[in-house]
Structure 1
Amino acid sequence: MNHLAPGRPLLKPQSRLPGLDTLRSLAIVSVVIFHLAPFLPPSLSVVQRFGWIGVDLFFVLSGFLIGTQLLKPHAQGRPLGQSSILDFYRRRAFRILPAYLTVVALYLFVPLWREQPHLPAAWKLLTFTSNLFMHYPAELAFSHAWSLCIEEHFYLILPLAVLALTRRPSLRKTLAAFTVLLLAGICLRWWELSHIVRAASDDDLWPVFMKRIYYPTYTRLDGLLSGVALATLRLFRPQWWSRLESRGTATFLTGTLLVLAAMATLGFDYPSPDRTLGVLLAFPLLSLGFTLWVASALATNGPLKLRIPATEQLATLAFSLYLTHKAVAHVARQSIPWLTNNRTWPAAALTAILCLIAATLLYRMVEVPFLHLRDRNQALTTSPAAEPQTDPAI
């Protein structure tokens, strides 16, 4: 185990992969710009149009990293057992719940913290089911928790799926599982779009679309599945992975073309109920494109191998920043009159600084102590490699 120096403020592995930091930073920055667009300079509107895809990039990263955690023991001849699954759940709880519950408490007990007037019921937030029981657009405070709900459902189900698939492992069975789940998501979106969404009145069209297609876990598994598929390829088909790893630039460019193709099916805009092809194919195309970006980030060459300043820090703060950025921007505008209706670059810079300060405080005061506690408890029983970069929250 990589023991942490006493009092060390940031948890770092001995060596990081700069490409993954770059992708994680790109994801969080794009999401923040998307959410805070009404507060930002109009010149950022182009970025804002596409910022929503940052969540899909997070899904792919989580699928790959968590898939690697769960599959690596089996690849090393150590089958996943009940104790390993329980340990995985324990580590996830230490990683996610402290910061998440801290922010939930702020939303529940500090009305000023809410960026929108109405908050989902506490039981939805505490059970990670707000994405399944969303009252859109009535309950928009902390609405971005929908993606965290999907992540939690993924963390709960994936170990059980890995346990089932690795008891009698076969390439055919694994490919069949990935294919069936991917096609099931496409079919579910088609069914919901054709029979539920378009049957709604014009006033209810968008709310029903968001509730039945955009937010639910069962219609948004494309990215997580793609990430797990890449982890499986890397661990169990080293010859295939070696070929992919040696073509970092080509892999990145191919992924970029797939991302552009996905956006083209949506008219280079936000997913819409009037874009049938986009609703069906944009999410899997985006996921495949981002999966190739992740592969390029891990390759021996390619544009994502460069170490970009500040990306490591942004990647480290990504979870806390995701949790807090909407509320912090709202509180800032309620507390600082100069920021009200001010969409200049200085106002945007101040908002960004405040968001980063809040994220840093949540990270250092909540995330880090509980990660230390998790790793100290882990040291009493076993000695796994605990690398923050393979321990994502979003």
Structure 2
Amino acid sequence: MSINSTSHRIVGLDLLRTNAILLVVLGHGRWMLDGCPKPIRTLFNGAFGYMGVELFFVLSGFLIGSILLKVFIKTDDFGFAEVKNFWSRRWFRTLPNYYLVLILNILFTVYIFRITLPDHLWTYFFFIQNFSAHVNSGFFYDSWSLSVEEFAYLCAPLSLVILSALLKYFSKKLIFLIATGLLIFLVISVRAIYFVFFHTSEVDWNDSIRQVMIFRLDSIFIGFVGAYFNYFKANLWKRLRYWAFAIGIGCLSFSFLFYLHNQHADTFFFYVIYPLIYSLGALLILPLLCFVDIKNAILLKVVTFISTISYSMYLIHNSLISNSIKAFVGNNELGAFTGLFCYLIYWTLTIGLSYLLYKYFEKPATDLRDMNYKPEVTLITIKPDSVPQRDMGDKGE
């Protein structure tokens, strides 16, 4: 499939993924504009990066949750063979790129950045660098979010296997709903227990909650809720899409503004409830996006292009490109002209190198996966309520 192919893609979800990665890249390059006038600094606010990551979490949960749901529903005896195939396809999609960029980060850190590698370097190879606490050493900073996704996709299919054994006489529809609800409840409960019994005001929210894997898994599983409604309640999913979108935008706007003014808040709401509101906002905009179409051919190609290379962009834009620019210009505040020039170079390198990484490494690895692992059940289905569902696939996830 060419990089601009829109066959079997939901354009609205590509649009969301494109906006999410652009927000992340925009936010992480914000430091280059510190010497620019205030309107520019405000327009390119670093908080946008936070919003982009949250959108990614729910979108990823929706897409991969839809795949898992359909495998679960269509398999008579869902067990470890299906789980193994699910894991293999996910890992073939994500791990080759991740480990390549991890090795590049090690080499850049030693030979270009000239700083000491973190003592916990080994944890990055097993996605446990932020299992219970995020150690912000500056090394491969963005990888914390990948560990959230990887562990979510470890837990979800296993929970379905266990609940299927315990709830033999329950329908698969109900088992999937129970598993999703239970996982979300457990993660929120862990956040609450941490705040009530272990939290101290000296601990930063960003490092102690937002970027800690065991506290953020619910963001992925909320995407599973969308997968459930899209599959079993397709008419409702479509009928309420405008109302849901309006409420979702309201939730996202509230969350963004709240974060701007309460980054150092020390309250139960901020630590426990606030991440949930962001995720629910992202979930509620999905129904409308599933039916969005882009008529302009040029815009459609741009959206599809950025969406397709978004994973490569996420991996290299900050840890390799932004940090390389920072190493070159030093720690002094950049002037307006120099900052804007560096920002342009930052975006050019991010898009250009991400395309090369996708074309010559990420896509060949994905093609190799498709040759060696049986595909999951077809994702083109017609529901009993006669609402056709297009193939969402797992491209870009």
| Same fold, TM-score > 0.5, yes or no | yes
Q: Are positions 1:292 and 2:287 aligned together?
A: no
> Does 1:29 pair with 2:22?
yes
Give the Å deviation of 1:388.
9.8
* Equivalent of residue 372 in structure 2, options 353, 373, 377: 377
Query: What is the Cα-based RMSD across aligned positions, in Å?
Result: 3.1
Shift of 1:281: 1.5
Match of 1:214 in 2: 210
Superposition deviation, residue 269 in structure 1: 4.4
Separation in 2, partners of 1:385, 1:59: 24
Gaps of 5+ in 2: 380-389
Partner of 2:285, secondary structure, is helix
Asked if the contact 1:320–1:359 (Cα under 8 Å) also holds between the matched residues in 2, the reply is yes
2:58 partner letter: V
Structure 2 residue identity aligned to 1:84: E
Alignment of 1:181-200 (within 5 A): 181-198=183-200
Partner of 1:227: 223
**How far did 1:113 drift?**
5.5
Q: What are the ranges of 5 or more consecutive residues in structure 1 without an aligned counterpart? A: none
One-letter code of the match for 1:98? Answer: P
Describe the shift of the 1:316–1:187 C-alpha distance in structure 2 as closer, same or farther (beyond 3 A).
same
SS at match of 2:130: coil
State which of 294, 316, 323 in structure 2 corresponds to 1:306.
294
CA contact (8 A) 2:69 2:228 kept: yes
Question: Aligned partners of 1:11 and 1:383: how far apart in 2?
Answer: 24
Question: Is 1:18–1:305's contact at 8 Å kept on the other side of the alignment?
Answer: yes
Q: Distance in 1 between matches of 2:18 and 2:317?
A: 14
Change (3 A) 1:114 1:372: farther
- Write the distance in 2 (CA, Å) between the matches of 1:116 and 1:270: 33
Q: Given residue 347 of structure 2, which amino acid in structure 1 is its aligned partner?
A: A
Distance 1:106 1:242, change over 3 A: same
In 2, Cα distance between equivalents of 1:126 and 1:17: 33
Which of the numbers 262, 265, 281 marks the counterpart of 2:273?
Answer: 281
What TM-score results when the alignment is normalised by the length of structure 2?
0.82
Deviation at 1:270, TM superposition (A): 6.4
CA separation of 1:388 and 1:357: change in aligned 2, threshold 3 A: farther
Equivalent pair of 1:124/1:133 in contact (CA under 8 Å)? no
For residues 115 and 246 of structure 2, what CA distance do their matches in structure 1 show? 40
Equivalent AA in structure 1 for residue 239 of structure 2? S
Instruction: Show CA shifts across 1:17-65 (max 9, x none).
Output: 1100111011111111222210135514354224302111111111111
Q: Number of aligned residue pairs: give it.
A: 369
* Amino acid paired to 1:35: H
Selected match of 1:272 from 238, 254, 264: 264
User: 1:352 & 1:391 partners in 2: Cα distance?
Assistant: 26
Q: How does 1:230-379 map to 2 (within 5 A)?
A: 230-235=226-231, 237=232, 240-263=233-256, 266-269=258-261, 271-299=263-291, 304-306=292-294, 308-309=299-300, 310-326=302-318, 327-335=320-328, 341-343=334-336, 344-378=339-373
**Partner residue, 1:45:** 42
Worse-superposed segment, 126-135 or 277-286: 126-135
TM-score (norm 1): 0.82
Structure 1 residue 346, shift from structure 2 partner? 3.9
For residue 367 of structure 1, give the secondary structure of its aligned residue in structure 2: helix
| Shift in CA distance, 184/32, structure 1 to aligned 2, threshold 3 Å | same
Q: Which residue of 1 aligns with 2:105?
A: 107
1:105 and 1:330 map into 2 onto residues whose CA distance is 15
Contact 2:60 2:223 in 1 (8 A): yes
Aligned partners of 2:313 and 2:351 also within 8 Å: yes
Percentage of pairs with the same residue = 25
Deviations 1:339-361 (A, max 9, x none): 98255444322210011112112
1:385: Cα distance to partner?
5.2
Counterpart of 1:128 in structure 2 is 127
